[in-house]
Structure 1
Amino acid sequence: MPDARPAGKTTPFWWEEAPPAPLPAQPLARTADVVIVGAGYTGLTAGMTLARAGRAVTILDKMLPGEGASTRNGGITSGNIRPGFDELTRKYGETRALAIEAEGKEARAFTYDFIRSEGIDCDLQMTGRFSGVIGRAQYEAGARSAEKLAKSLGIESYAVPQAEQRAYIGSDFYRGGSVRMDIGGLHPAKYHAGILRLALAAGVSLHSGTAVTSVARDGAGFTVTTSAGTISARQVLVCTNGHTDGSDPWLRRRLVPIRSRIIVTEPLPPELMQSLMPRRMMYSEGMILGCYYRPTPDGTRILLGGRDASQSGDAQWPIEMLRQNMLRIFPELAGTGLSHTWFGNVAMNRDMMPRIFEHDGITYATGFCGSGVVWAPWFGTRAAQRLMGDTAQRSAFDFRPPAFIPFYAGKPYFMPPLISLYRVQDRLALARAQR
């Protein structure tokens, strides 16, 4: 029987070394060149870029800086696009599908160069990622995609047949998989702390615990009303992603906040870690509700994350579901305790694509669909360039705003039945794969 002991802490494992903290209180400026809503990766990177170019920038966040997704994620530099390459090709054609993948390659390279050039200490480890598959059709599709990425974009990627997978993962659950070597892992809270340091050093004025209640047109600019007063801005950038609230009802109808939960094991014996994760890679799997997992940066624990179907409170059953998922991959962990479990919001939209767009003069960088470690700083930088009038570089993600969701105003009423449907589809796919 699985160990049903509760996890020790319900705060992120990452906060042990880099907890979010309030900033010293300061008066809210009456005017700014740019007001940015949200002090996560996106807002801070945009603010830093703008401030270094001489703009007066004010960033507002109703929580502590980084308290949301930026310090709650798994720290994998996947830069995933939810539609796979085959689906992207069907929807947009192969040329644009390759352009989307190419921009992902560029965004990852930007991430690594940014960390190194700016001296951010965030435990970056370029380990590669193994993606496990559950059937032959998935394996063949993954092999085709890996070959296409290698030939067209020069990404080191290749298929791993089932007979060879134990060199990458100590599990017999999968039917092979694929590897991408341009993906690694980092400490997300240390990463955020590093970007925060850079933004403040650039001269950004940052106000935590300051909720934005409305943004209204005011001549050629905007009046931003907050819990600390009003501020006039020439431009406004919204980077709220999974924490978008009722202050922007237009955006709220287009982004669905979905809980994602992570569990972390207690420290494991070195020989067990070597057996289960011989290359200390990042990991994902080919199921609709599949998990992602990785070793912690010090290589002593396993961190595993996935969807949390709860919508309020802090229920125990999502923790047990993740524990069961961990045991189907690594039955050797039966009886292993959990040191941490927590959840946070990711922001999905109808076509599952991140983007920069405008509405009524406001610029938005959002909709990262659970892959914000790479996409959020990338789009934050691109959004800043856009606000400064740099339109020389067009993005493959120049999509129109995401479509609204009928009868939706912030509470994802449709998610419990949808997740139940996905679970059934995953079970059927597993049953077919085992025949």
Structure 2
Amino acid sequence: MHNRLPLTQKSTPYWWEAAPVRPVPVQPLAKTLDVAIVGAGYTGLAAGLTLARAGRSVAAFDAMNPGEGASSRNGGITSGSIRPGYSVLTRRFGEKTALAIEAEGKVAREFLYDFIRTENMACDFQLTGLFKGALGFDQYEPMARSAELLAKRLGIEAYAVPHAEQHGYIGTDFYRGGTVRMDIGGLHPAKFHAELLRVALAAGVTVHAQTPVTGIKRDGEAFLLRTSAGVVRARQVLVCTNGYTDSALPFLRRRMVPVRSRMIATETLSPEVMARLMPKKMMMGENRQLGFYYRPSPDGTRILLGGRDNTRDDNATAPILRLRDGLIELFPELENVRLSHTWYGNVAMHRDMIPRIFERDGLVYATGFCGSGVVWAPWLGTRAANRLLGNTSEARTAFDFRPPAFVPFYNGTPWFMPAVIQGYALQDRLAMWRSRR
């Protein structure tokens, strides 16, 4: 373990410095709505915007302040990654669906970038590219082949970076080469949410902050939503809760497992250090089960790094030290650098590990982003809204299929996650041992 400097100054997200999460003005509760949306993060607001512009009366209800969950806590990397690889997708769903899922990732990223431009969103978006490091030469070869296939199949600028050229992309000797995708970039997640909220409110979406939905039941051809502010009747309901699903939605809660993802931010680093460690200012990832994701801050003055946090209480010392040690393993020259912030948020994992839209008992769900919600949440929120509008062509998506399978013996408390994380850690240690032999 490295020396233990005082760990951090702040336990709130670094992103909140420039874009603090705030309540929205209280609005009267409508007695009837065309569409009620549960959740006012990226998904719910993108859906609400589409519905409001189509002339529907729509309100989004959030148990916290809008964006206070994952939408303002994530790494801001526009990866749109899907955890099961292409071969696993093909085996599980067939080649046609696997190809469609891969192709939709390209379209979803393009949609996001166009959306940011069209709506004039000031969210520090930069199309920087992403470097993904290989732990050993045994990983490098299949990663290089995958990059070549990606370029050939989808026309994405993707290529391998051999070990000898690695320092042109990242100032570390930890990896043995890697790959680059140039269709991935970074944004300021809290600013993006704030801009999405601004646009949605201007379009006529009513947003109720700190107003949890406590129950939903069918009422003839419509639904009654019981909220902390009263009861509202809605013709349609869209559920967009993801990693913050609670007991008001028992069907979804048994399928969405909230997993903590924690981030750290360094203190301000010199321009010389940043140029040496991140010469191309790319987003960064790596190829291990409990891998780190990291990036330069939008202003290029510090490094932000994130990874899994297997704790279930408020004692953050161990997960902070794990991230700090990971940072130093990558960049030994940062051993004495202090951290300015640490924070965590919930990502929603489930047994299929693929985002989706589905319908059950008349409720439509857009959820299950598994840590890649910056791209998938606005995309599937928009798709789901078009489904409610009956716009068949604009609702079409490869992610519209059955609900995720339920998790046995799970009722909302992820008691099993520490053991799962330990299993992944063992796999990573074995992979590192093999790669370094």
The TM-score with structure 2 as length reference comes to: 0.98
**Equivalent residue, structure 1, for 2:337:** 336
Q: Does 1:57 align with 2:58?
A: yes
Deviation for aligned residue 1:311: 1.1
Q: Which has the larger displacement, 103-112 or 312-321?
A: 312-321
**RMSD, aligned CA:** 1.0
**Equivalent residue, structure 1, for 2:269:** 268
**Equivalent residue, structure 1, for 2:400:** 398
**Equivalent residue, structure 1, for 2:92:** 91
Deviation for aligned residue 1:336: 0.4
C-alpha distance in 2 between matches for 1:161 and 1:97? 28
Deviation for aligned residue 1:399: 2.2
Deviation for aligned residue 1:370: 0.5
C-alpha distance in 1 between matches for 2:397 and 2:235? 24
Tell me, what secondary structure is at the counterpart of 1:263?
strand
C-alpha distance in 1 between matches for 2:137 and 2:69? 38
Tell me, what secondary structure is at the counterpart of 1:392?
helix
C-alpha distance in 2 between matches for 1:157 and 1:316? 38
Deviation for aligned residue 1:136: 2.7
Q: Does 1:420 align with 2:387?
A: no
Deviation for aligned residue 1:69: 0.3
Identity of paired residues, percent?
66
Tell me, what secondary structure is at the counterpart of 2:74?
coil
Q: Does 1:78 align with 2:79?
A: yes
C-alpha distance in 2 between matches for 1:179 and 1:66? 30
Tell me, what secondary structure is at the counterpart of 1:297?
coil
Deviation for aligned residue 1:140: 1.8
Matched-pair contact (CA < 8 Å) for 1:9–1:341? yes
**Equivalent residue, structure 1, for 2:434:** 432
**Equivalent residue, structure 2, for 1:357:** 358
C-alpha distance in 1 between matches for 2:151 and 2:4? 42
**Equivalent residue, structure 2, for 1:111:** 112
1:380-412 per-position Cα deviation (integer Å, ceiling 9, x unaligned):
100000000122253111220000001100011
C-alpha distance in 2 between matches for 1:160 and 1:33? 52
C-alpha distance in 1 between matches for 2:326 and 2:32? 51
C-alpha distance in 2 between matches for 1:243 and 1:390? 29
Matched-pair contact (CA < 8 Å) for 1:3–1:335? no
Alignment of 1:135-146 (within 5 A): 135-146=136-147
C-alpha distance in 2 between matches for 1:68 and 1:132? 29
C-alpha distance in 2 between matches for 1:28 and 1:96? 42
C-alpha distance in 1 between matches for 2:96 and 2:212? 42
Deviation for aligned residue 1:308: 0.4
Matched-pair contact (CA < 8 Å) for 1:160–1:176? yes
Matched-pair contact (CA < 8 Å) for 1:4–1:320? no
**Equivalent residue, structure 2, for 1:301:** 302
Deviation for aligned residue 1:3: 3.8
Matched-pair contact (CA < 8 Å) for 2:138–2:435? no
Q: Given residue 171 of structure 1, which amino acid in structure 2 is its aligned partner? A: T
Q: Given residue 413 of structure 2, which amino acid in structure 1 is its aligned partner? A: K
Alignment of 1:213-292 (within 5 A): 213-292=214-293
1:57-96 per-position Cα deviation (integer Å, ceiling 9, x unaligned):
0110010010000000000000010112232233334433
Deviation for aligned residue 1:26: 2.0
Which structure 1 residue ranges, 5 or more long, are not aligned?
Answer: none
**Equivalent residue, structure 2, for 1:9:** 10
Q: Given residue 279 of structure 1, which amino acid in structure 2 is its aligned partner? A: K
C-alpha distance in 2 between matches for 1:382 and 1:322? 36
Matched-pair contact (CA < 8 Å) for 2:38–2:60? yes
C-alpha distance in 1 between matches for 2:27 and 2:45? 18
Deviation for aligned residue 1:364: 0.3
Q: Does 1:326 align with 2:322?
A: no
Deviation for aligned residue 1:413: 1.2
Quick one: structure 1 residues 323 and 141, their matched pair in 2 at CA, closer, same or farther if it must change by over 3 Å? same
Matched-pair contact (CA < 8 Å) for 2:257–2:414? yes
C-alpha distance in 1 between matches for 2:114 and 2:386? 18
Q: Which has the larger displacement, 252-261 or 411-420?
A: 411-420
Deviation for aligned residue 1:273: 0.7
**Equivalent residue, structure 1, for 2:183:** 182
Deviation for aligned residue 1:162: 1.0
Matched-pair contact (CA < 8 Å) for 1:3–1:337? no
Matched-pair contact (CA < 8 Å) for 1:128–1:282? yes
C-alpha distance in 2 between matches for 1:95 and 1:141? 22
Matched-pair contact (CA < 8 Å) for 1:296–1:303? yes
Tell me, what secondary structure is at the counterpart of 2:392?
coil
Deviation for aligned residue 1:170: 0.5
1:123-146 per-position Cα deviation (integer Å, ceiling 9, x unaligned):
001110000011233212211211
Count of aligned residue pairs for this structure pair: 435
C-alpha distance in 1 between matches for 2:155 and 2:42? 28
Alignment of 1:95-174 (within 5 A): 95-174=96-175
Q: Given residue 242 of structure 1, which amino acid in structure 2 is its aligned partner? A: G
Q: Given residue 67 of structure 2, which amino acid in structure 1 is its aligned partner? A: G
Matched-pair contact (CA < 8 Å) for 1:85–1:97? yes
